[in-house]
């Protein structure tokens, strides 16, 4: 996997800032964070008995630079979810 370009990383950070993501770390209070290269993709099931993942929830990862606490931001609200990707729960495709 190639590392994300600085331009792409800056775009994600800009999108987060535009949405008011500016609070200090919820665990240690630090105000320094790092955007982690790569998406975290959560596999979702509607029933715990399901044998297969039914939906995917791709997310951007932000790590606190002091304590490492990680927070996730799903891509759809950031305008970063390609149309052919599964949508997170509660995000219905446009009519």
Query: Least separation, in Å, of the C-beta of 30 and Zn ion?
Result: 5
Nearer to Zn ion, 22 or 92 (CB): 22
Residues that bind Zn ion (CB under 5 A): 25, 27-28, 30, 64, 66-67, 69
- Sign of the alpha-carbon torsion through 29, 58, 46, 52: negative
Nearer to Zn ion, 9 or 69 (CB): 69
**Residue whose C-alpha is closest to residue 86's, from 36, 50, 49, 46:** 46
**Residue whose C-alpha is closest to residue 85's, from 77, 34, 93:** 93
Query: Least separation, in Å, of the C-beta of 27 and Zn ion?
Result: 5
């Amino acid at each position: 996997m190639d590392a994300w370009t600085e331009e792409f990383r800056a775009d994600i950070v800009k999108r987060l800032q535009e949405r008011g993501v500016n609070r200090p770390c919820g665990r240690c209070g630090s105000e320094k964070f790092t955007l982690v290269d790569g998406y975290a993709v959560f596999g979702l099931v509607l029933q715990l008995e399901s044998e297969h993942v039914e939906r995917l929830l791709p997310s951007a990862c932000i790590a606190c630079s002091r304590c490492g606490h990680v927070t996730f931001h799903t891509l759809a609200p950031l305008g970063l979810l390609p149309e052919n990707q599964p949508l997170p729960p509660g995000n219905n495709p446009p009519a």
